[in-house]
Amino acid sequence: MADTTWKEKAAEKREALLSSIPLEWRLPAPLPPPAELPNVTGPEIRKYLSAREIEITETSAVYIIRKTSSGEWRCEDVVRAFCHRAAVAHQMINCLHEMFFDAAIHDAKTLDAYFAEHGKPLGPLHGLPVSLKDTIHVSNVDTSMGIIGWLDTFEGQPLLEKTSRPESTIVTHLRTLGAIHYVKTSVPQGSFAGETINHIVGHTPNPSNRNLVVGGSSGGEGGLLALYGSPIGLGTDIGGSIRLPASFNGCYGLKPSTGRLPFQGIASIVDGESAIPFVVGPMGHSVADLVFLTKALLAVEPWRSDPGDHELPWRDEVCETVRSRFRGKGERLAFGVMYSDGIVNPQPPVARALGEAVQLLKSLGHTVIEWKPPPHAEALTIWRENITIDGGHAFHSALSLSGEPATPTVFGSKPSAPVDATEVMRRTIALRNYRKAYLDYWNSTAALTGTGKPVDALIAPVHHGPPPAMGKVRYMGYTCAFNVLDYSVSVIPVTRARKDIDVYPSNYSPLNKMDSIVHDDYNANLLDGAPVGIQIIGQRLQEETVLALSEEISWELGRGQVPRL
């Protein structure tokens, strides 16, 4: 590091990454600028692929597995197709930090050989490519997390043996199940922002409209999915990092509660901050895909190797009950809907998405009540206070390894002094008290639902708007409140912004300064066509309820890409 500046080091990595793409997969010419070619999804990326590659890469994960598990498709063909598409995607939106195609093709060949020999798949994910956010460690693969000083190290520590890095537990499980890893996706510097910019790969724009952000921190994951460069991937979330990119890219995501999926061995720039923990969860093209991956992971009993995981197997019976009730068999369901958190009102496309979901639920005979919880402003204070106990010490120490400056959009770009332990404890207590008050409120809705029971789930915006222009994410209150609560949350796509109907009333009266800024940010022409999702929220460790509802609601909204399982 002493001999090279951080800019040189970053450029070196950036170039190495591009040169690792096989010549035949390189784009023949640079893309036109975003102003000329905003949307590179669908037909734009298909231009570079064969019909066979398009067929494979636009098949849903559960169907890929059916084909690889029956021998109809070779794993090698599947993996090559995704490697190619991912390589093209990266050239379009800088969405990858690592490509390890040779290792992936080697793994695919091994699986094909296994199938040839035994006449059966290795495991329930036989040959499924799974992309990974760059915070997740893979043996023999670098993890920069968007920090130059982390390149060629293990989380900033010198590598004793270059070839042996501890792999995140979830990666090992996925391999055991037959999955194949082939790329690690881009994140903001330190993986701690709502948009994805770092000094190594630069900016990852939104592939549906490259004038907009892709979201973050699992931004590369979201962008890669939107380009169908991955059938399913893993993100992590401490304030919205799975949900924002899912919503901004028209895909599905699950932020589970802590202790449901194994976080053991995944990198975090606030490692050791335990009040609001990072969680890992799947992002993909359908709820059925998320369910399939989650069930497969729980079937390996991850609590046997991750001391932070609870022994809580997948509960199919919960899903079945929720599905039956949704379809009108048995007691009707009750939902809370949060039209606004009282701090920033949703922009028109988001308000419309919520309205469509509510209308659907009501039309099916379910109860919907307006959600009036303990102030979310308090949740946001608690979130910020707990997330910043070290004043950004770990983050800025990591930056100082190379001397690179903080990117302007990263959370905590200016360091402050770490607080002392008595203050850490006060903040932990405030968090616990808020959780208790929220649970009490949730229980109190039993008096309002007409069923005598509290609401089964809550519906809320993911973000106040569709993906905005660069530098304008501004506010993540709708997602981070549910990290404070450690609730189980999924994101489903609902609609796309429409400039013709999604307009603020001319007499709109902003709630406050921030709401006024958000109002002024809204540009109906620019955002036209941008994806909009909603959150479906259950209490802690209610992944089954949340996913079952997500599947049913998505289906009814006409977005089910595979039959309901």
User: Does residue 190 belong to the site contacting its own copies (CB under 8 A)?
Assistant: no
Q: Is 540 exposed, middle or buried (0-12, 13-18, 19+ CB in 10 A)?
A: middle
User: Does residue 560 belong to the site contacting its own copies (CB under 8 A)?
Assistant: no
User: Does residue 541 belong to the site contacting its own copies (CB under 8 A)?
Assistant: yes
In 3D space, the residue among 227, 251, 218, 221 whose CA is nearest the CA of residue 39 turns out to be 227
User: Does residue 443 belong to the site contacting its own copies (CB under 8 A)?
Assistant: yes
Binding segment (CB under 8 A) for its own copies, from list 48-56, 132-140, 212-220, 432-440: 432-440
Q: Are 205 and 211 in contact (CB under 8 A)?
A: yes
In 3D space, the residue among 260, 280, 263 whose CA is nearest the CA of residue 543 turns out to be 260
362 three-class SS: helix
Whole-angstrom distance, CA of residue 228 vs CA of residue 56: 10
The single residue of 9, 133, 295, 472 carrying the catalytic annotation is 133
- Which one of 428, 451, 523, 561 is in contact with its own copies (CB under 8 A)? 428
- Which one of 20, 139, 264, 561 is in contact with its own copies (CB under 8 A)? 264
The single residue of 230, 241, 247, 550 carrying the catalytic annotation is 241
Binding segment (CB under 8 A) for its own copies, from list 136-144, 293-301, 472-480, 540-548: 540-548
User: Does residue 435 belong to the site contacting its own copies (CB under 8 A)?
Assistant: yes
User: Does residue 385 belong to the site contacting its own copies (CB under 8 A)?
Assistant: no
Residue nearer to its own copies on the CB measure, 289 or 486: 486
Q: Are 185 and 96 in contact (CB under 8 A)?
A: yes
489 C-beta neighbours (distance < 10 Å), count: 32
Count of chain residues binding its own copies (CB under 8 A): 46
Reported as type and span, the H/E element at residue 482 is: helix 477-484
Active site annotation includes 186: no
User: Does residue 272 belong to the site contacting its own copies (CB under 8 A)?
Assistant: yes
Residue nearer to its own copies on the CB measure, 369 or 439: 439
Binding mask 20-59 for its own copies (x = CB under 8 A): ----------------------------------------
Whole-angstrom distance, CA of residue 438 vs CA of residue 441: 5
The encoded tokens of residue 84 equal 């190619």
Residue type, 81: A
User: Does residue 447 belong to the site contacting its own copies (CB under 8 A)?
Assistant: no
561 C-beta neighbours (distance < 10 Å), count: 17
Whole-angstrom distance, CA of residue 120 vs CA of residue 307: 32
Q: Residue 272 Cβ, how far from its own copies at the closest point, in Å?
A: 3
HEC sequence for 78-105? HHHHHHHHHHHHHHHHCCEEEECHHHHH
User: Does residue 321 belong to the site contacting its own copies (CB under 8 A)?
Assistant: no
Phi and psi torsions of 229, nearest 5°: -85, 0
User: Does residue 113 belong to the site contacting its own copies (CB under 8 A)?
Assistant: no
Phi and psi torsions of 146, nearest 5°: 75, 10
Whole-angstrom distance, CA of residue 171 vs CA of residue 265: 10
Phi and psi torsions of 488, nearest 5°: -85, 130
User: Does residue 395 belong to the site contacting its own copies (CB under 8 A)?
Assistant: no
Active site annotation includes 133: yes
User: Does residue 453 belong to the site contacting its own copies (CB under 8 A)?
Assistant: no
User: Does residue 424 belong to the site contacting its own copies (CB under 8 A)?
Assistant: yes
Q: Residue 236 Cβ, how far from its own copies at the closest point, in Å?
A: 16
Binding segment (CB under 8 A) for its own copies, from list 15-23, 351-359, 438-446, 556-564: 438-446
User: Does residue 444 belong to the site contacting its own copies (CB under 8 A)?
Assistant: no
C-alpha separations of 562 from 30, 79, 554 in Å: 36, 21, 11
Binding segment (CB under 8 A) for its own copies, from list 26-34, 285-293, 423-431, 527-535: 423-431
User: Does residue 305 belong to the site contacting its own copies (CB under 8 A)?
Assistant: yes
- Which one of 17, 299, 401, 419 is in contact with its own copies (CB under 8 A)? 419
Residue type, 33: P
User: Does residue 160 belong to the site contacting its own copies (CB under 8 A)?
Assistant: no
Whole-angstrom distance, CA of residue 530 vs CA of residue 189: 25
Phi and psi torsions of 124, nearest 5°: -65, -15
Binding mask 460-499 for its own copies (x = CB under 8 A): -------------------------xx-------------
Q: What residues make contact with its own copies under the rule CB under 8 A?
A: 259, 264, 270-275, 303-308, 310-312, 389-391, 393-394, 418-429, 432, 435-436, 438-440, 443, 485-486, 540-542
Residues with catalytic function:
133, 217, 241
